[in-house]
Amino acid sequence: IAATPQRAFLNENNVVTDLLVTMEDKTGIERKYIISGKSILFHSLSLSLSLSLSLSLIPNQIGFVYPAFFSIKAIESKEKDDYTHWLTYWVVYRFFIVTSDIFLSCFPLYYAVKCLFLVWCMAPVTWNGSAILYFRVVRPVFLRHQATLDSVVNNLSNKAKNMDDTVTKR
């Protein structure tokens, strides 16, 4: 094999080649193969990371584009059922998806399961996920804590109003 700058580097005396010599001695694998293996590992990890980032975009697009389109149509519609369906979807989406992204995205097949979950939540069927999860989880939690939430929102609103009054007076 022809001499290359990389091959010359492998025969120099420096910290990297000292480490490679130690690894070569302990494993019995030539340093040129150790470097190749590390390169393959690095490229595999890079590919895995970029695929992971790409995979996270797919469910986010599924969970946003279609529902946003039909939410706009619902706004333009006079039917209350259209509003209710898509408001329920967005509440469930925010309630479950945002927290699951934080805690579950490291699990294998998370993004595939998330896509299926989002399709189930937006499906135009009576057993769609948004309605089921809203009425079985979100609504009971909200009703149980509604007084506290109202108090917090009122306090924040009053503080914001007072801050606005203070800033406006100055």
Identify the residue with better confidence: 2 or 110.
110
Name the packing angle between helices 15-27 and 31-76 (round to 10°).
Answer: 100
Render pLDDT for 14-51 as a digit per residue (tens, 0 to 9): 777 777 777 777 777 776 766 665 555 555 656 665 56
**Continuous H helices in 30-79:** 31-76
Render pLDDT for 107-142 as a digit per residue (tens, 0 to 9): 888 888 888 999 999 888 888 899 999 999 999 999
Q: Which domain holds residue 73?
A: 5-169
Three-class secondary structure of residue 109 per DSSP: coil
Render pLDDT for 41-84 as a digit per residue (tens, 0 to 9): 555 656 665 565 566 677 778 888 888 888 898 888 888 777 88
**Short-list 143, 144, 128, 51, CA closest to 93:** 128
Range 5-10, long-range pairs (CB < 8 A, 24+ positions): 6/35, 7/32, 10/35
pLDDT (average), residues 135-161? 91
Total structural domains within the chain: 1
Total Cβ atoms within 10 A of residue 151: 10
Which pLDDT does position 1 carry in this prediction? 46
Amino acid symbol at 95? F
Identify the residue with better confidence: 33 or 1.
33
pLDDT (average), residues 145-150? 92
Which pLDDT does position 140 carry in this prediction? 94
Render pLDDT for 5-15 as a digit per residue (tens, 0 to 9): 556 666 677 77
Distance CA 101, CA 104 (A): 6
Which pLDDT does position 168 carry in this prediction? 78
Longest dimension (CA), the chain: 80
